[in-house]
């Protein structure tokens, strides 16, 4: 799912600018936060006394909450890295080199995302030695970047061109405050 979110982030920033992308990232972050609060709420409800699997249920959700927190932090940092790089490179290159801009932003954003998920979500957890975490990180990261490299010429490039024509929009972030916390 996350490679698709980067593609959407690429399109938003490339066509509508960093400010619009920032709003969508914050909305996505809010959705993740809400979903995690719902999970926390349901964990507080008492289980049926005849169920007998409450300990296992809580053990699973204890780890999933750590992973959810890791995913939220990684999403926030990775998406803003992605959008920031697109916005800066688009201005720097006067809109040229779109493919390089889109792929380089994904290379950086997905690296931030992948490292944060693995460190916050798994580091120190039983059953996840560092060697295995590094293999998982390299595999996941490679797949995400490869997806972007394949998707750009086949899909993303054409979508961007069509969307810019239809929307009559191709925003350049010359004076945009690129602080993710700016309102």
Give the tens place of pLDDT for each residue, 160-174.
999 999 999 999 999
Cβ(165)–Cβ(107) under 8 Å? no
Rounded mean pLDDT, 7-36: 92
CA distance 122 to 74: 13
Report the alpha-carbon distance of residue 157 to residue 141 in Å, rounded: 22
CA distances from 98 to 23, 25, 166 (A): 22, 21, 18
User: What are the tens digits of pLDDT across the range 109-130?
Assistant: 999 999 999 899 888 877 888 8
Going from the C-alpha of 109 to that of each of 3, 144, 148, the distances in angstroms are 10, 10, 12
What is the rounded average pLDDT of the residues 24-46? 88
Q: Does the pLDDT of residue 26 top 80, yes or no?
A: yes
Q: Give me the chain's average pLDDT, please.
A: 90
Q: Band of the pLDDT at 66, cuts 50, 70, 90?
A: confident
Residue 71 half-sphere exposure toward CB, CA atoms < 13 A: 17
> Is the confidence at residue 17, as pLDDT, over 90?
yes
Report the C-alpha gap between 156 and 133 in whole angstroms. 31
Residue 67 confidence (pLDDT) above 80: yes
Does pLDDT of 62 surpass 70? yes
The answer, yes or no, to whether residue 76 has pLDDT greater than 70, is yes
pLDDT category of residue 35 using cuts at 50, 70 and 90? confident
The span from the first CA to the last CA of the chain, in angstroms, equals 27
Q: Are 116 and 77 a contacting pair, CB within 8 Å?
A: yes
Q: Which residue has the higher pLDDT, 50 or 87?
A: 87
173 CB contacts (<8 Å, ≥6 apart)? Answer: 17, 18, 19, 87, 88, 90, 91
The pLDDT of residue 145:
93
Question: What's the pLDDT at 36?
Answer: 84
């Amino acid at each position: 799912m996350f490679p698709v979110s980067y593609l959407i982030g690429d399109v938003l920033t490339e066509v509508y600018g960093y400010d619009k992308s920032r709003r969508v990232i914050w909305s996505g972050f809010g959705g993740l936060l809400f979903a995690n609060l719902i999970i926390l709420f349901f964990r507080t409800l008492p289980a049926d006394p005849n169920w007998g699997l409450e300990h296992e249920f809580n053990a699973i959700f204890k780890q999933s909450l750590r992973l959810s927190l890791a995913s939220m932090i990684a999403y926030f940092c990775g998406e803003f890295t992605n959008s920031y790089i697109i916005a800066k490179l688009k201005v720097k290159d006067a809109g040229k080199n779109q493919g390089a801009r889109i792929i380089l932003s994904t290379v950086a954003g997905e690296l931030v995302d992948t490292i944060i998920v693995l460190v916050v979500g798994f580091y120190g957890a039983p059953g996840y030695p560092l060697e295995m975490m590094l293999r998982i990180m390299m595999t996941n990261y490679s797949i995400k970047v490869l997806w972007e490299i394949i998707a750009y010429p086949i899909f993303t490039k054409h979508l961007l061109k069509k969307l810019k024509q239809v929307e009559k929009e191709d925003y350049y972030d010359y004076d945009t405050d690129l602080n993710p916390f700016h309102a």
